[in-house]
């Protein structure tokens, strides 16, 4: 019943330490893997302050799907926890709560939903909970996703479609007082808007590719 936490990170030097501190405090986590996805800041240095963290430094950005696949290949754990590296307010309780449905056998995948954190992030997740980046799941689900390493930001869509198509039980877990840094805050308004648009376009492209294959 080992659990590996996979943390894709692209230029998250300001927040990754608090995420790793919370993971380090959880007795349920056996392995922590940080994938620096072509970061150009001090993400790797910040993660290196934690002795038990396995760090993989990708020189080129592969997107979230590629980063998660890289982390998955580094571990043999049957249970995987995927968290964003830009979370604000992550606690040991959040981690344990999102893992509980999967470790107890209640669900094959649990999806963490922000609640009572910040209005903007709360609303976004209520509108599209299947896009949440915080989730625990059985390893086999990720292994069964075709082209996981090429999905980039489409990884959540791919997982959503797979569990729906195969009637796999999932659970939504509220994560109170948790949010994340928005792209507009990281990059400034216009660069953030462009980065968000690029993310949504990658999601749309992945959906179109899935629809083409299934058609």
Average pLDDT, the chain: 84
pLDDT tens for residues 126-153?
555 557 889 999 999 999 987 776 555 5
> What is the CATH classification number for the domain harbouring 115?
3.90.550.10
Residue 77, pLDDT > 70, answer yes
Q: Quote the number of domains for the chain.
A: 1
pLDDT band at residue 212 under the 50/70/90 scheme: very low
Q: Which of helix, strand or coil describes residue 178?
A: coil
Does residue 103 register a pLDDT over 50? yes
More confident call, 200 vs 148: 148
Q: How far apart are CA 134 and CA 31, in angstroms?
A: 17
**Strand 79-82 versus strand 87-88 pairing type:** unpaired
User: In percent, how much of the chain has pLDDT > 70?
Assistant: 75
Distance CA 212, CA 45 (A): 42
The model's confidence at residue 71, banded by pLDDT at 50, 70 and 90, is: very high
Of 181, 192, 4, residue with least CA distance to 90? 181
Write out the residue range of the structural domain in which residue 157 sits: 3-214
Whether pLDDT at 55 is above 50: yes
| CA triple 199-202-206, angle to 5 deg | 145
pLDDT band at 122 (very low <50, low <70, confident <90, very high): very low
Q: What pLDDT is attached to residue 161?
A: 84
End-to-end CA distance of the chain: 38
Which of these ranges, 16-20, 36-40, 93-97, 177-181, has the smallest mean pLDDT?
177-181
């Amino acid at each position: 019943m080992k659990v590996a936490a996979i943390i894709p990170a692209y230029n998250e030097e300001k927040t990754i330490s608090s995420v790793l501190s919370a993971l380090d405090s959880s007795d349920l986590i056996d392995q922590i893997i940080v994938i620096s996805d072509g970061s150009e800041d001090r993400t790797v240095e910040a993660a290196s302050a934690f002795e038990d963290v396995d760090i993989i430094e990708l020189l080129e950005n592969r997107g979230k799907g590629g980063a998660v696949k890289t982390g998955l290949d580094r571990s043999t754990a049957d249970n995987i926890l995927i968290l964003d590296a830009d979370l604000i307010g992550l606690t040991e309780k959040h981690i344990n709560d999102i893992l509980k449905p999967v470790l107890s056998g209640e669900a094959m995948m649990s999806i963490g939903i922000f609640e009572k954190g910040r209005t903007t992030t709360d609303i976004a997740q209520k509108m599209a909970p299947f896009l949440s980046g915080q989730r625990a799941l059985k390893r086999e689900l990720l292994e069964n996703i075709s082209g996981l390493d090429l999905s980039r930001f489409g990884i959540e869509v791919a997982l959503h479609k797979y569990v729906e198509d195969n009637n796999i039980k999932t659970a939504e877990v509220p994560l109170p007082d948790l949010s994340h840094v928005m792209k507009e805050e990281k990059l400034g308004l216009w660069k953030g808007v462009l980065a968000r648009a690029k993310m949504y376009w990658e999601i749309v492209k992945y959906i179109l590719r899935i629809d083409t294959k299934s058609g």
